[in-house]
Each structure stands twice: as C-alpha cells, then as structure tokens.
Amino acid sequence: MSHYRKLVRDNIPQILDEKGVSYTQTIADDTEYKKELIKKLLEEATEFAEQSSVEELADVLEVVAALKKLEEYADVEAVCLDKREERGGFEKRIILEGEK
C-alpha cells in the first residue's frame, strides 16, 4: 500500500466517504496551501502535457483559478494584459530557432 499526501478538490472527501475509503484529512494553512497549489499546478500541467485532454486542461485552469485568489497573485490579470500588450500573445504561432 502506498502513502500519499496531496491537495485535492473540495468534494473528494465526500466521494471517498461514499466509497468507504479510509483517509486522514487536514486543512492547510496559508503557506502550505500556496505550496500545495504550486505542486498541484505542476502535477496537472504534466498530466496535460502527457494526455492533452480537455479534462486535464480544465484541471490546470482550476488550479490557476485558485492561485489567482491568493493575495500576492490578485493582479495577475493586469500583468497578463500588460505582457500581452508589450510582447504579444501566441496567436501567430511563431516558433524561433537559434543558439543559446
């Protein structure tokens, strides 16, 4: 039996209860929550890179939405717009090649 410890969606404990699955749950403090969200973002981005499914992209967006609610990322949309204005987006599909 393997051990896990990870941030899960809010309804997972209820789903596990209905299935009779045993688990222990704690509530993350602010510091741990941010750390776990970043870990979850990497996990979900990796799964999306491997499967490229709409479900995996939805998981990535859900984690990003949670991160955007943290105070230090509250202005991320404005920063995104500024960067898009200065550097553009990715609509033109430009691929650069060169030496590092």
CA angle 38, 40, 41 (to 5 degrees): 65
Supply the pLDDT for residue 2. Answer: 82
Supply the pLDDT for residue 77. Answer: 96
40 CB contacts (<8 Å, ≥6 apart)? Answer: 6, 7, 63
Supply the pLDDT for residue 3. Answer: 87
Supply the pLDDT for residue 53. Answer: 97
Total-model pTM: 0.88
* Block mean pLDDT (10 aa), the chain, length 100: 90 97 96 98 98 97 98 96 97 94
Domain ranges in the chain are: 29-87
